[in-house]
Homo-oligomer: A and B are copies of this chain.
Amino acid sequence: MSTPPVRPRDLSFLLHDWLDLEGLLAYPHFQDHGVETVDAMLDIAGRVAADTFLPHYKAADQVQNEPRLVDGQVRILPAIHQALAAFAEIGMFAAPFDAEVGGLQLPQLAYSAAMAQFMAANVATAAYPMLTAGNARLLVRFADKALVRACALPEIEGRYFGTMCLSEPQAGSSLADIATRAVPDGEDGLGPRYRLFGNKMWISGGDQDASENIIHLVLAKVPGPDGKLVAGTQGISLFVVPKVLVEGSEHAGQRNDVVVAGLNHKMGYRGTANCLLNFGEGARHRPGGQAGAVGYRVGTVGQGLPIMFQMMNEARLSVGLGAAMLGYRGYRLAVDYARDRRQGRPLAAKGGAPVAIIDHPDVRRLLLAQKAYAEGALALILYCARLVDEELQGPAEGRPAAAGLLGLLTPVAKTWPSEWGLAANDLAIQVHGGYGYTRDFDVEQLYRDNRLNPIHEGTTGIQGLDLMGRKTLRDDGAALALLRQRVHATVDRARTQPGLADFAHVLEVTWARIGALVGHLKAAGDDVTSLAQATSFLSAFGHAVVAWLWLDQAVVAGGLGATDDPEEAAFRAGKLAACRFFFETEVPRVDVWLGIVGRRSDLTQTLDPAGF
């Protein structure tokens, strides 16, 4: 029997003991599911992840197995095809979708827990279905029925995969500057049709040979009457551009004018083909005998970016989940190594046999930090996944609150796991010593893979600007007030629990400081100077959020009632130890970051860059 990549008790604690999955399953939308069916699904997901995703983790990283471009077609490792076929076979592509589009109508919380296992096993392979689900979800929500039927349903079946095509070579994160043109080309069975011309960069899954077809979601600009593109993000529209034109299109069955111009060769995440795509070259493929990639508009002209944010926000949570699971897997490997490897003696010993390195305090510190980062990150993402369920399927009166909280937490959920999951991977290498630096062990690959996560789907700097700008300085504060209410509820429960009262006090003070700081920044008025400290604000906020979630987990772990199972007792003690570690060594950092933000230094604005 395969060992699942995530320990079942780690998931069951988070889902059942902590996040009340059962309460979620009481929503009418989830009436077909019970705790048992969800657990069975997670069990199967764990086994398929172990049997089909994990075995090619290292192989897909090897240079000779990287995606390659052969006659205009990207080829990826056959083991990836097989893994994704197995993933489709157990219904994972369909899992989060509504029954009316062929889905299993599983809560996002349960789906995320299942995905956590695939990502822990092989994050690069899991990227394909992750993008496909986000793509289909956007279509189901915003596209007309014909497009949903022709494009989204085959994605939900796992036959087509999806991408998101945003960045361009000259405009990485700055979508206002995209130059891809979408020229009106009449209408057919799939709706308003366009011809697209432009280049898209960094497209994950931009081409591969594992799915029957690829559905690109492309941001482009429709020229105005003067033939010019509208400046800024308000000029952006969204288009569905299938690799092979689909039923309902006048050009159904023809190869679209989308060409792979190159593959990026990355430090990690190598199993995920990352492409430069040219749209509308007209050289190799001319659907209907004409140059231009055929695309169908979703939503109205100029509404592309707000619609795309549906998928981007979802992708941000997914990036956070992947980063958390890379950190998690490194942590588990480091624990195993530290238990096996015998070296050195206790600090107080004068001789004797070497001990397992897990007995050295500094190694325990490295492991505790990894546990605090990885499990904290996973808790954060699952908490957000529950908010998705509350927002979409919960009682009407709670939906705005869930949506508000989710919006506030999304930049944290993207960034905190990316930064600290990577930090966990760094420590996992350190536990392994020289061995961890060799390619014979997986921890160096986990570290390389995770280095992508602070970059894609919005860098850490961009997430900081989002949190401090749109979500704080230019926000009415309702979501933050709500978050602080939830923090206070945790503080109140923790106060009465043995060993947690001090941490409750620290958490209360920390959030009071954040509240006061936000007031200070709003009063200061000069947002430019405040925003120059946005990344530090995000660092502080993220640590304060995860401190809250650790205290909340500790409250739950401490309140589970007696057990005479020593393994369960050790599990709970581990949760309490990680919480204590977080408050002893991580929460003190928050004051440093808050201090930096509050002092609003003008250094980065006033310095002469010639001095670099």
**A604: CB under 8 A from chain B?**
yes
User: Of B580, B591, B605, which one neighbours A603 at CB under 8 angstroms?
Assistant: B580
B437–A608 contact, CB under 8 A?
no
Contacts A267-B437, A343-B173 given; indicate if A430 touches B444 (C-beta within 8 A): no
Task: Provide the residues of chain B in CB contact with A584, threshold 8 Å.
Answer: 596, 599, 601, 603
A610 CA / B567 CA spacing, docked (Å): 8
A603–B527 contact, CB under 8 A?
no
Nearest B residue to A574 via CB reads B611
Task: Provide the residues of chain B in CB contact with A335, threshold 8 Å.
Answer: 612
Query: On chain A, which size bracket covers the interface?
Result: 35 or more
A454–B433 contact, CB under 8 A?
no
A403 CA / B535 CA spacing, docked (Å): 42
B603–A368 contact, CB under 8 A?
yes
Closest Cβ of chain B: how far from A87's Cβ, in Å? 26
Proximity string of chain A (431-471) to chain B, C-beta cutoff 8 Å, 1 when within and 0 when not:
00110111110001001100110111001110011000000
B173–A433 contact, CB under 8 A?
yes
Proximity string of chain A (519-538) to chain B, C-beta cutoff 8 Å, 1 when within and 0 when not:
00000000110011011100
Closest Cβ of chain B: how far from A600's Cβ, in Å? 11
User: Of B264, B440, B574, B610, which one neighbours A438 at CB under 8 angstroms?
Assistant: B264
Closest Cβ of chain B: how far from A576's Cβ, in Å? 8
**A143: CB under 8 A from chain B?**
no
A448 CA / B532 CA spacing, docked (Å): 30
A535–B365 contact, CB under 8 A?
yes
**A22: CB under 8 A from chain B?**
no
A122 CA / B202 CA spacing, docked (Å): 29
**A48: CB under 8 A from chain B?**
no
Copies of this chain assembled into the complex: 2
**A347: CB under 8 A from chain B?**
yes
A611–B577 contact, CB under 8 A?
yes
Closest Cβ of chain B: how far from A404's Cβ, in Å? 25
**A367: CB under 8 A from chain B?**
yes
User: Of B173, B365, B426, B433, which one neighbours A172 at CB under 8 angstroms?
Assistant: B433
A581 CA / B354 CA spacing, docked (Å): 45
User: Of B344, B429, B595, B611, which one neighbours A571 at CB under 8 angstroms?
Assistant: B611
CB interface residues, A 403-438, toward B, < 8 Å? 426, 429-430, 433-434, 436-438
Contacts A434-B172, A455-B437 given; indicate if A610 touches B570 (C-beta within 8 A): yes
Contacts A267-B448, A335-B612 given; indicate if A460 touches B430 (C-beta within 8 A): yes
User: Of B433, B574, B577, which one neighbours A459 at CB under 8 angstroms?
Assistant: B433
A438 CA / B429 CA spacing, docked (Å): 22
Nearest B residue to A587 via CB reads B592
Task: Provide the residues of chain B in CB contact with A573, threshold 8 Å.
Answer: 607-608, 610-611
Nearest B residue to A443 via CB reads B267
Nearest B residue to A461 via CB reads B362
Nearest B residue to A359 via CB reads B609
Contacts A63-B63, A611-B574 given; indicate if A343 touches B430 (C-beta within 8 A): no
Q: What are 27 A-B residue pairs whose CB atoms fall within 8 Å in the complex?
A: A201-B434, A202-B434, A264-B440, A266-B437, A266-B438, A267-B437, A267-B438, A335-B612, A347-B528, A361-B531, A361-B532, A362-B461, A362-B465, A362-B532, A362-B604, A365-B532, A430-B461, A436-B455, A448-B448, A566-B610, A573-B608, A574-B608, A574-B610, A581-B603, A584-B596, A584-B601, A588-B595
Show the binding face of A for B, using Cβ within 8 Å: 63, 167, 170-174, 177, 201-202, 231-232, 264-268, 335, 339, 343-348, 351, 354, 358-368, 371, 426, 429-430, 433-434, 436-440, 444, 447-448, 451-452, 454-456, 459-461, 464-465, 527-528, 531-532, 534-536, 566-567, 570-575, 577, 580-581, 584-585, 588-589, 591-592, 595-596, 599, 601, 603-605, 607-612
Query: Besides A174-B354, A267-B438, A584-B596, 5 other CB < 8 A contacts?
Result: A171-B343, A346-B528, A347-B528, A570-B608, A577-B607
